[in-house]
Amino acid sequence: MKSDTNTKGAWKVYFFSAIIALAVSYGVLHFNKQELKESTGVTVVESVPGAQALYTRDNEGNIKPLDFTETSEKVLDAVVHIKSTQTGSSNQRQGARELPDPFKEFFGDMFKGQSPHGMQSQPRVGTGSGVIINDKGYIVTNNHVIDNADEVEVTLYNNQSYKATVIGTDPTTDLALLQVNADNLKTMSLVNSDDVEVGEWVLAVGNPLGLNSTVTAGIVSAKARSIHINTDKFAVESFIQTDAAINPGNSGGALVNLDGNLVGINTAIASTTGTYTGYGFAVPSNIVTKVVEDLLKFGNVQRGMLGVTIRTMDGNLAKEKNVDFTKGVWVEQVGEDSGADLAGIESGDIIVSVNGKETGTSPRLQEIIAGKRPGDKVAIVVNRNGKEKELEVELQNSQGGTNMIKKEEKEVFNLLGADFENVNKEVAKKFGLDGGVQVTKLYPGKIKSETQMREGFIITHIDGKRVKDVDDVAAVLENKKGGVMLEGVYEDGTKYYYAFGLDS
């Protein structure tokens, strides 16, 4: 009986609960229905601030929610898309023998665009990113983005496109400087990358995988990292490592801090698949600044050199050399009459600092020296047999001198799209020459577009006239109009002729 009474009481509670729930549900539905009638038929929920799970400090040390929107808005306009087009295939670039005397009197457009087999190939197109660094239209990117290009096109964030001029390149750091003729450009400032700290938040901005104007976030994972990707003889690798996602197409793009300033140029990824798998690498902004300054002031990069071969000191090396471990850079060999040799640095020394900056690894030492020019003097502290010693070293250029090696700036050379150097004595002696001019670098220009010349070609005659140095080349071509015939030889001994036209 008691159980039956309890059961009836429970049913009453359930019944009244159901009535109340039904009334509430009806009221809600009626209210929403009324709202929908008064609307356009689409229900819009007012946005609410996203939950902030992470916090950071601003420059004044104040705690604030971590938010990338302001930084992204600040930097996107300064990052561009770069398209480089190579009209000839690599096979065509091998060059073709052209007609010697007596036919060279009749050269002209018949030579233009010829390939060894008379076949035309489809142009090859590569893409990457770049960063606008000032309002004169100068853009920094990677050398590998525009290397061997016949035409370079830059597209801004607003989708305007411009033809770009290659101002200069530096294969040793994989950097290049371009320029576009445009107004009202948004630019990005460079910071001192020595101040960047491991663990600091950074954003990678670029155009990966055809996805224009992409922003990804991460932290600085390491500094002064070398991954041995640059094969240049004097390569400098001291990358900032980040876990911000970087993919093909990001090359030449920006790595920025939360203030929207450039800390590095994204250059490479560590990957077994060819796409992002965890880490990317950027050339530090200090190296970028030095390269840009040199290209604008001298026409090429002035690289100061110690003249030593080095290895990062570690426990295994200390055991191999039977020395006590000291954090620094082991000097394996010292070049004869190099700056290091003349200053008294010896094989077996351990370089521990340069100008007061610690050199814990070989890449860090390379980075510091890469910021110097021939003739600069640096204070180097070495550990020798357990005792520290400070030495002053005057850095040298690649030829063993202390003077700047400035590129000849001639308007006609820009039209040709080439860098020239006087042939060195050893090569001249090898071919029995009393002079000559070697083509050291080719850019988009007359030579690349109208001939199949390769870098390294030694010009001995122009239109039948003997040329012994760069000044001779400039004198012959400065006011030249019409057809031009270049005669010369490659270092393998093969003689070639190349013809092209100079616009009147």
- Residues designated as active site: 144, 174, 251
**Spatial distance between the Cα atoms of 264 and 289, rounded to a whole number of angstroms:** 10
CB 376 within 8 A of CB 395: yes
Q: Which residues of 148-176 are buried (b: 16+ CB within 10 A; e: fewer)?
A: bbbbbbbbbbeeeebebbbbbbbbbbbbb
Tokens, residue 333:
């060999």
Q: Which residues of 179-195 are buried (b: 16+ CB within 10 A; e: fewer)?
A: bbebeebebbebbebee
CB 138 within 8 A of CB 179: yes
User: Could you give the count of Cα atoms lying within 13 Å of 107 in the half-sphere of its Cβ?
Assistant: 26
CB 138 within 8 A of CB 131: no
- Other C-beta atoms lying within 10 Å of the C-beta of residue 47: 6
Find how far residue 20's CA is from the centre of its chain.
Answer: 69
Tokens, residue 240:
């900032």
Which residue matches tokens 């009393």? 434
CB 333 within 8 A of CB 310: no
Tokens, residue 195:
């101040």
DSSP lists the bridge partners of residue 155 as 81, 161
User: Could you give the count of Cα atoms lying within 13 Å of 46 in the half-sphere of its Cβ?
Assistant: 1
